[in-house]
Structure 1
Amino acid sequence: MNHPTNVKKNARINVVLNQQAQGISTDDWLQTEEEKQTHDTLIRFEEQLKQYVGLDEVKRLVKEIYAWLYMNQRRELQGLKTNKQVLHMIFKGNPGTGKTTVARVIARFFHDMKVLSKGHFIEAERADLVGEYIGHTAQKTRDLIKQASGGVLFIDEAYSLARGGEKDFGKEAIDTLVKGMEDKLHDFILILAGYSKEMDHFLSLNPGLPSRFPITIDFPNYSTQELMEMIHGMARERDYQLSKDAEQLVRDHIKHIRVENEATFSNGRYMRNLIEKAVRHQAVRLMKYHLYERQALISLTAEDFKFYETHDKL
């Protein structure tokens, strides 16, 4: 089986998440207490990432980048040449697959590794870049890049910048971003995110774009088991638990809904909506039957999970 990370001839790194990764833990190469203290930054970020379901290849990528940065430090001590790498990234996948969460973690990680001077995180969308008249878009985009100096600029649904065609101001935003990436090559990290198909089309419209983003991370939909882990975790955070009948009902529903809406399924967001809606239904049920004891208050039953209501969001 091919490794989920493919390094292409043009030095682009393509990462596919949620596939089984090898050697993610530091346990296999940090044995002594002294080594663990030396690499405390890596250990801390691995511990942070453990709290998230899936994302195995992001965990591996963080370890890989850490090793490269650390070896650069060791090379400097030996008087050897070192070079900076461009770390702009493309995140592709459906909503709720962890793209924004990973971008925030990466910002903190690169700050701790002294790649970014500030490590702050700025999240933007089309409206934050595109202006209303000629010249306005370029200024708004330059201002945003200036704000992102020393940190990460994360643009969600980046493909929307190319939707209006040649005469749309979105093209001006893209051109300004490209120039900003060249002028401030190592001053900030730009992450463009969006649906996989739309992002592929977006990148194809400008031949110069793909080469400026050496790291591409694909965020597939979570598996049924991973989504069940999420919903149990969300329930625990709120002091609830699913009954056996509720768990089976939700599992069967997830199996069906994942396949039926594969291209648009919102993963973690859908799980959050399910649990919050179930909590509201449970409250109504408990009031109706005057059930106020502890076990009743914490239990979510099959009766509390009602699917396909008009306000459901996939």
Structure 2
Amino acid sequence: MASQGFGFPRQAAARPHRLAPQRAEEPVEEPETPVTLADDAELDLSADEAATRVEETLAALDAELVGLASVKRRVREIASLLQVDRARSQFGLTSSKPTLHMSFTGGPGTGKTTVAMRMAAILHALGYIRAPRVHVVTRDDLVGQFIGHTAPKTKEAIARAAGGVLFIDEAYYLFRPENERDYGQEVIEILLTEMENERGNLVVIFAGYPDRMATFFSANPGLSSRVPHHIEFEDYDHAELMQIAELMVAEENFRFDEEAREAFADYLTRRMQRPNFSNARSVRNAIERCRLRQARRLVGLDRPLGKQDLIVITAEDVRGSSLFAPAADG
């Protein structure tokens, strides 16, 4: 049996409206005709040139995001699906192109946008989309203010995302059944058409809180049937949030001293019990405020500063948060 690796064909560059004249000495390249492999041939998926790019992207995802094991597993499954689908095509085993529209559900700060960006890189590496880009929109970018305004706005957003990923954050706000004059339903109808007609040119990811997204899809069964991949992003636990904090601090060339680390762990315990906690987003905001308090402390020292002064975040910088303020009497 012959054994070989294979590479996925690169996307052809967009043709200009007018072709430049060809020089006599420059032959016109004919598109390559795919060669169907013999029934007894074998393919080495690991030798695929795109497989390396996919593994690099998955490794970056592991490095960027703490936890989220189930999310990363689903991303790998989708990448594997596309690799095997293209391998089948090498043997002439035709089948319908996989539908890759997705739903990302989870609280704020759980990495949905980051995963969408990495997913776009994977889909591009495997030849499913033309460009590894993500166009992020919300209701305000799609829904118009008057009759005839919604369709152009929605189609403009789709055109910007064409060849890549359209990421609709808080997608449930498109559906407002209590308002009969709301134009969000028009957006949904346009999306339904484009998601079906442009399956090979556009991937749509709907994102938002789990309970609201469930209601959104149950009220729009036609939309739900076009979204086969539902990925849930769980909230981070305390240990994962501390790991995220350490990574964020290190990325900015700071570090907690031991007392500051204990203080920040205490801060997280308190903050996680308060309203509007946003996982990694709240951690980043807390670190930014620690840096503000560190800067105020250093300026107040009124002495020459060394490198370590500028790097170390102390317990004082952390415990200056209002969360540590004593409760008011009465």
TM range (shorter): 0.7 to 0.9
Change (3 A) 1:117 1:266: same
Q: Is 1:282 matched up with 2:294?
A: yes
1:122 equivalent in structure 2: 135
1:11 equivalent in structure 2: none
Q: Is 1:151 matched up with 2:164?
A: yes
1:169 aligned residue (183, 187, 209): 183
Q: Is 1:93 matched up with 2:91?
A: no
2:260 equivalent in structure 1: 246
1:79 aligned residue (92, 107, 111): 92
Q: TM-score, normalised by structure 2?
A: 0.78
Deviations 1:46-100 (A, max 9, x none): 2211212123233222322222222223322323233311111111111111011
Q: TM-score, normalised by structure 1?
A: 0.81
Deviations 1:110-157 (A, max 9, x none): 011100122321111111101121121022112221222111000111
1:6 equivalent in structure 2: none
Could you tell me whether the CA contact under 8 Å between 2:137 and 2:168 is conserved in 1? Answer: yes
- The answer for unaligned runs of 5 or more in structure 2 is 1-43, 326-330
Q: Is 1:106 matched up with 2:119?
A: yes
Task: Tell which deviates more after alignment, 224-233 or 36-45.
Answer: 36-45
1:192 equivalent in structure 2: 206
Could you tell me whether the CA contact under 8 Å between 2:135 and 2:167 is conserved in 1? Answer: yes
**Alpha-carbon distance in structure 1 between the residues aligned to 2:270 and 2:208:** 24
**Alpha-carbon distance in structure 2 between the residues aligned to 1:294 and 1:143:** 50
Task: Specify the SS of the correspondent of 1:208.
Answer: helix
- The answer for unaligned runs of 5 or more in structure 1 is 1-31
**Alpha-carbon distance in structure 2 between the residues aligned to 1:124 and 1:301:** 39
Change (3 A) 1:100 1:242: same
Task: Specify the SS of the correspondent of 1:283.
Answer: helix
**Alpha-carbon distance in structure 2 between the residues aligned to 1:137 and 1:61:** 34
**Alpha-carbon distance in structure 2 between the residues aligned to 1:294 and 1:108:** 38
| One-letter amino acid of the structure 2 residue matched with residue 199 of structure 1 | M
2:70 equivalent in structure 1: 57
2:215 aligned residue (191, 201, 207): 201
1:210 equivalent in structure 2: 224
Q: Is 1:298 matched up with 2:311?
A: yes
1:139 aligned residue (124, 134, 152): 152
Q: Which has the higher contact order (CA 8 A, sep 6+)?
A: 1
Matches of residues 19-58 of structure 1 in structure 2 within 5 Å?
35=47, 39-52=51-64, 53-58=66-71
What is the percent sequence identity of the aligned residues?
39
Structure 1 position 209, deviation (Å) = 2.1
Aligned residues: CA RMSD: 2.3
Could you tell me whether the CA contact under 8 Å between 2:68 and 2:234 is conserved in 1? Answer: no
How many residue pairs were aligned? Answer: 277
2:281 equivalent in structure 1: 269
Could you tell me whether the CA contact under 8 Å between 2:293 and 2:317 is conserved in 1? Answer: yes
| One-letter amino acid of the structure 2 residue matched with residue 247 of structure 1 | R
Change (3 A) 1:133 1:64: same
2:235 equivalent in structure 1: 221
Could you tell me whether the CA contact under 8 Å between 1:221 and 1:265 is conserved in 2? Answer: no
Task: Specify the SS of the correspondent of 2:163.
Answer: coil
Task: Tell which deviates more after alignment, 72-81 or 172-181.
Answer: 72-81
**Alpha-carbon distance in structure 2 between the residues aligned to 1:246 and 1:83:** 56
Larger radius of gyration: 2
Structure 1 position 253, deviation (Å) = 2.4
Q: Is 1:255 matched up with 2:269?
A: yes
Q: Is 1:160 matched up with 2:173?
A: yes
Structure 1 position 205, deviation (Å) = 1.9
